Amino acid sequence: MFAGRTIVVLSHQGMGDCLMAIPFLRTCDANLSRHDRMVILVKSKLEVEVMATIPWKGNVEVWQLRQGGLLGKLRLFCVLPRLRGLRPDILLAPLLVDRFANALWLWLVGSRKAVVRRGRWLGRMGRTVAVRFPAAAHETEEFLEYARAAGFNDCPDADMVIPVSNDQREAARRRMTDWKPEQRWIAFGPGSGVLEAFKRWPPKHYAALADRLLKHSPDVRIALVGSRNEQPLLESIARDVALDRDRCCIFTDLAFRECLALLTQCRCMVAASAGLSHMAAAAGIPIVGIHGPANPGHSGSYSRQLRVVRLGLECSPCYRSGQITGCGNPVCMTMIHPNIVFDAVLASLDGKPCPPVPWCETTDACEPIYPRTETESRAA
């Protein structure tokens, strides 16, 4: 039994959000006393793996919400009896969507204080504290505002990077074909969730980029990284590589800890706004982030080593509520030429300073707006 406070954190929206929440979760953990406990609710086994890699200082439990069918849709209500039994003192819900059912759920949990984003329904029922966000804040910085609203002190060492042991690094090197210290491995993360496929950079562009990098230096190796479901995507890229295909290696179905260790052995990650770009931030390596529909200043990798590549079309970014599957013709991604990304990769490999990550106001566009002239397209 715990004689102190019980803090419940709802972090249930996928691996990318889980990773961006790490500084916030570490801050909460650093504010736990010896008698306190924190319960973190996540969506899937993958997020459980993410949470298991973090060296918690306090008493932290991770609960996986039920998935599948109707229970999947009602997963918050399925866990409700267990949560009420905890009699939580503080409930932090940074990812809770503003709906009546969610507001009702918060009220039924019966926490002494709930910290939420105020909306039409949220913050209107029960004892709640509404969070105020600074202008042009990254999602990670918004998460941290929830901790401050709960009365927690800032934690100076609450960063994104997850430690990897020497044994894990050595195991990763054994997976990398003929690994040598002088090699420069560059990771490609071309995949994304099914609903967010419109955020992907075209596979043929990844293949063209690989060709340029392999031609540029004999020390370059390409690591194509993804989930088991993304195996066909990775294989299609490898097939289209014209030069030295044996220097392209596919890595799928790795456990989270194994994939993180693999990324620590890479000099750079090339990815769009998806989970692997956030994993690269957790691994502490440079990132070339290819952005179109998403705002890099809000949902890009939370890293000082992020180098953003984007066209800046008038319709971009457009990722918002009601537009979560894109416009159907993501020219903001398909028109980004491999040469532009190649230059960004070389700058990252050479250790050049990254320009400030741009904050881009989300547009209300529902269809592509092409550059007015060919000159503008090339300049972008």
pLDDT greater at residue 260 or residue 66? 260
For 237, the token pair is 């890229």
Angle at 140 between CA 280 and CA 143, to 5 degrees: 145
Q: Is the per-residue pLDDT at 309 higher than 70?
A: yes
Q: Which fold has domain 166-379?
A: Rossmann fold (3.40.50)
Report pTM. Answer: 0.91
Tell me the C-alpha distance between 141 and 155, whole Å.
13
Q: What is the pLDDT of residue 67?
A: 55
Q: What is the DSSP letter of 152?
A: P
Q: 377: pLDDT confidence band, cut at 50, 70 and 90?
A: very low
For 8, the token pair is 């419940």
- What does residue 55 show for φ and ψ, rounded to 5 degrees? -80, 90
> How many helices (H) does the chain have, and how many strands (E)?
17, 12
Do the first three CATH levels of 6-149 and 166-379 match, i.e. the same topology?
yes
**Interval 82-100: pLDDT, tens:** 999 999 999 999 988 888 8
The residue extents of the domains of the chain are 6-149, 166-379
Q: What is the pLDDT of residue 164?
A: 96
Domain 6-149 class in CATH: alpha beta
Residue 124 CB burial class (10 angstroms; 0-12, 13-18, ≥19): middle
For residue 249, the surrounding DSSP H or E stretch is: strand 248-252
> If you average pLDDT over each of 71-85, 113-127, 142-156, which comes out highest?
142-156
Residues 6+ apart with CB under 8 A from 267: 184, 185, 186, 285, 286, 348, 349
Tell me the C-alpha distance between 286 and 182, whole Å.
18
**Interval 256-272: pLDDT, tens:** 999 999 999 999 999 99
Q: What is the pLDDT of residue 316?
A: 94
For 105, the token pair is 């759920």
Report the share of the chain in percent with pLDDT over 90.
73
